[in-house]
Structure 1
């Protein structure tokens, strides 16, 4: 799909507390596929309130992805490892609503996240991706992310050991 033909249809807006149920719904959609999260059971809105509060527009944005005026997913930049020395490094999360898959939204989200990260003084973006999640690995690799780490067989899901790749990109010097 030619992303350029569709970028005018994509917008990113800061998430509000009223978006949290939608954010949780989209996240929970990903759990059964065992590709995007190590959660094994759906989470509740209440379980995500503290996480939501950690995302401030000028420090750690949490954005709703809109496509043709409809909410189509979300992206977040979260603090890495919770220590001050890592403040210039963030973890990226992108979750696309199942109804909006394969429309170039992931690529647009990565590009938007990099610009947002640069504006808030972030120099490194990390993506934690299961080694068997080839679509997400491909998305980040085509956007210049490289493997910075590999954690073999660190997750057990449905009786299968799963490895985790850490992809990274330096976006500013």
Structure 2
């Protein structure tokens, strides 16, 4: 596949919301119970900046007309206290047509490679324990299980365990 990524723009929001709403409907990787809207996502989206906590969309170079086929967002870990800024919490969502086609690996590898330039030393993600595909993706790229939270979510009567995965990328520059 010929994947590429770029910083997302507000014009990408309808496609981002469409991709996210596929995840909501699947009940496999989101705790939202209802689909979201562009307006509901706009404020959170605008908090991302290319040089601190970027939000990227992926495109298929062979079919650019379809727009975003997935996205990766760098989010604040735990909260926005400055002491946590060395860690970013990742969110990756892919259009269902691109599951299992290497897009998740591509985006996660780009995040790993770009993190140092963003001042990020550690990456983390929380994933439902039942989401084996996502857990396998993160394990493949060197993430380890750092935490397990049993039965912290309930989706339509089904309780979900949550796994915290993380990867220390590098130590801070001396000086």
- TM interval, shorter chain, is over 0.9
The equivalent of 1:172 in structure 2 is 170
* TM-score, length basis structure 2: 0.92
Q: How far apart are the structure 1 equivalents of 2:134 and 2:98?
A: 15
How many residues end up aligned between the 2 structures? 166
Q: How far apart are the structure 2 equivalents of 1:117 and 1:50?
A: 24
The equivalent of 1:60 in structure 2 is 53
The equivalent of 2:15 in structure 1 is 22
After superposition, what is the alpha-carbon deviation per residue over 1:45-78, rounded to whole angstroms, capped at 9, x for unaligned?
Answer: 1111111111100001100101123421111111
Q: Which moved more, 1:102-111 or 1:69-78?
A: 69-78
The equivalent of 1:125 in structure 2 is 123
After superposition, what is the alpha-carbon deviation per residue over 1:72-112, rounded to whole angstroms, capped at 9, x for unaligned?
Answer: 11111111122110001001111111122221001111100
Equivalence map 1:102-113=2 (5 Å): 102-113=100-111
What's the RMSD between the two structures over aligned residues?
1.0
After superposition, what is the alpha-carbon deviation per residue over 1:116-144, rounded to whole angstroms, capped at 9, x for unaligned?
Answer: 22211100101110000000000001111
The equivalent of 1:155 in structure 2 is 153
Residue segments in structure 2 that go unaligned for 5+ positions in a row: none
Residue segments in structure 1 that go unaligned for 5+ positions in a row: 1-5
The equivalent of 1:11 in structure 2 is 4
